[in-house]
């Protein structure tokens, strides 16, 4: 007895239900094409490589893989710090976590998007590598906070005025961190990837500069290791963004170039919270926030975390921005004015939650 799958070319079975010898079937009218796959679809089933340099960056990501568990966390002894220093360091990592805590989901979402649009294989893999790295960066925030203030950043049992002030600031930051996700998710379908890359670019330049500076400055071995490792990842993310943009910018429409100008301003507004101080745009914060923030960051500095001074942070930002400005202007994209740092450029008006593409 034989069975057919309806096309007349099914597997042959014998009387006992066993399989007969395999045979090749070439239909007389030719092979039947399957129905078209509706798009977007996350299943490319091929691995095209157009940019070897991006493929090399993915290889580098695998070679530079590291494990946060291997860092000397046991050297981070709560008793080596005053209660204020402990709180200050926990607070700084909580601020960082507002950025790094969103990193895994932001890049995972971007990675899915690269599959949906069937981007070339190295781009898909690079986004995967960035998402992988961001999970590690988030884990460092988690470990530092858990070592110094178990239950932090939200449930450490704030009891003193300073602790309550820290908790309240963190809650406000968390509120703001939760405001951009929908806008970000929706933006993926609206704009070409290169617009996103430029927003990533500012974040990656800023992050690599920040962590490099702090690795130099901190006097605690475990923090030095964290900053060095994270800084290494961030400079690879930066190289990845630059490579992707080099490929894409020649085809950019003017409207997308204008959008990039605006995105760069949004990046400055958003990232200043961790790199410097938040400008009076986008951030919804109570009037006492900044005073308490400064005091807590001072406590972290006292504890040897390696946080740069206000002026050093501003210089750092200027340096990072100058680097990005040079790159995008070479591509015929105008740079926004950054009056907070006395930098001239295009006035892009108000920045809202819808403009924020969170990256770090």
Phi-psi region of 216 (alpha: psi -120 to 50; beta: other; left: phi over 0): alpha
Binding residues with Fe ion: total (CB under 5 A): 5
Sign of the torsion formed by the C-alpha atoms of 107, 135, 301 and 287: positive
Considering only residues 50 to 109 of the shown chain, the ones binding Fe ion according to CB under 5 A are none
CB of 94 to Fe ion, least distance (A): 15
Structure tokens belonging to residue 41: 């679809």
Place of tokens 């704030």: 158
CB of 104 to Fe ion, least distance (A): 9
Question: What is the Cβ-side half-sphere exposure of residue 92, based on CA atoms within 13 angstroms?
Answer: 29
| Binding piece for Fe ion, criterion CB under 5 A, among 88-96, 132-140, 214-222, 333-341 | 132-140
**CA pair distance 245, 194, nearest whole angstrom:** 6
Which lies closer to Fe ion via its Cβ, residue 137 or residue 256? Answer: 137
Closest-CA residue to 110 (of 86, 137, 129)? 129
Which lies closer to Fe ion via its Cβ, residue 194 or residue 292? Answer: 194
| Binding piece for Fe ion, criterion CB under 5 A, among 230-238, 250-258, 273-281, 291-299 | 230-238
Q: Does 237 bind Fe ion (CB under 5 A)?
A: yes
Contact 224, 292 (CB under 8 A): no
| Binding piece for Fe ion, criterion CB under 5 A, among 15-23, 87-95, 229-237, 285-293 | 229-237
Which lies closer to Fe ion via its Cβ, residue 69 or residue 350? Answer: 69
Q: Does 236 bind Fe ion (CB under 5 A)?
A: no
Tell me if residue 299 falls in helix, strand or coil.
Answer: helix
Q: Phi/psi of residue 88, each to 5°? A: -60, -45
| Binding piece for Fe ion, criterion CB under 5 A, among 14-22, 231-239, 270-278, 306-314 | 231-239
Q: Does 265 bind Fe ion (CB under 5 A)?
A: no
Q: Does 137 bind Fe ion (CB under 5 A)?
A: yes
13: β partners: 19
Q: Contact positions toward Fe ion, by CB under 5 A?
A: 137, 204, 234, 237, 360
């Amino acid at each position: 007895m034989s069975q057919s799958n309806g096309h007349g070319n099914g597997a042959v079975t014998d009387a006992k239900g066993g399989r007969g010898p395999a045979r090749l079937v070439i239909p007389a009218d030719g092979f039947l094409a399957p129905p078209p796959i509706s798009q977007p679809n996350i299943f490319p089933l091929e691995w095209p490589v157009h940019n070897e340099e991006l493929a090399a960056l993915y290889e580098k990501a695998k070679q530079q893989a590291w494990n946060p568990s291997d860092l000397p966390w046991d050297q981070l002894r709560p008793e080596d710090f005053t209660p204020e220093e402990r709180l200050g360091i926990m607070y700084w990592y909580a601020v960082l976590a507002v950025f790094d805590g969103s990193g895994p989901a932001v890049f995972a979402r971007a990675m899915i998007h690269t599959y949906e649009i069937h981007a070339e294989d190295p781009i898909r893999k690079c986004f995967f590598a960035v998402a992988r790295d961001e999970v590690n960066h988030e884990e460092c925030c988690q470990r530092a906070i858990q070592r110094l203030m178990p239950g932090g950043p939200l449930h450490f049992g704030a009891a003193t005025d300073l602790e309550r002030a820290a908790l309240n600031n963190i809650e406000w930051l968390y509120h703001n961190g939760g405001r951009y996700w929908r806008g970000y998710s929706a933006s993926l379908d609206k704009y070409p990837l290169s617009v996103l890359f430029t927003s990533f670019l500012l974040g990656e330049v800023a992050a690599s500069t920040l962590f490099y500076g702090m690795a130099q400055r901190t006097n605690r071995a475990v923090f030095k290791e964290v900053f060095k490792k994270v800084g290494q990842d961030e400079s690879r993310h930066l190289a990845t963004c630059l490579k992707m943009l080099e490929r894409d910018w020649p085809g950019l429409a003017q409207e997308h170039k204008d959008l990039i100008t605006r995105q760069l301003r949004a990046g400055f507004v958003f990232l200043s919270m961790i790199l410097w101080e938040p400008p009076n745009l986008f951030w919804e914060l109570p009037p006492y926030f900044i005073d308490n923030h400064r005091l807590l960051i001072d406590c972290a500095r006292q504890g040897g975390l390696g946080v740069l001074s206000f002026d050093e942070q501003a210089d750092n930002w200027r340096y990072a921005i100058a680097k990005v400005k040079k790159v995008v202007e070479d591509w015929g994209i105008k740079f926004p004015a950054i009056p907070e740092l006395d930098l001239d450029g295009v006035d892009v008006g108000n920045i809202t939650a819808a403009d924020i593409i969170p990256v770090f």
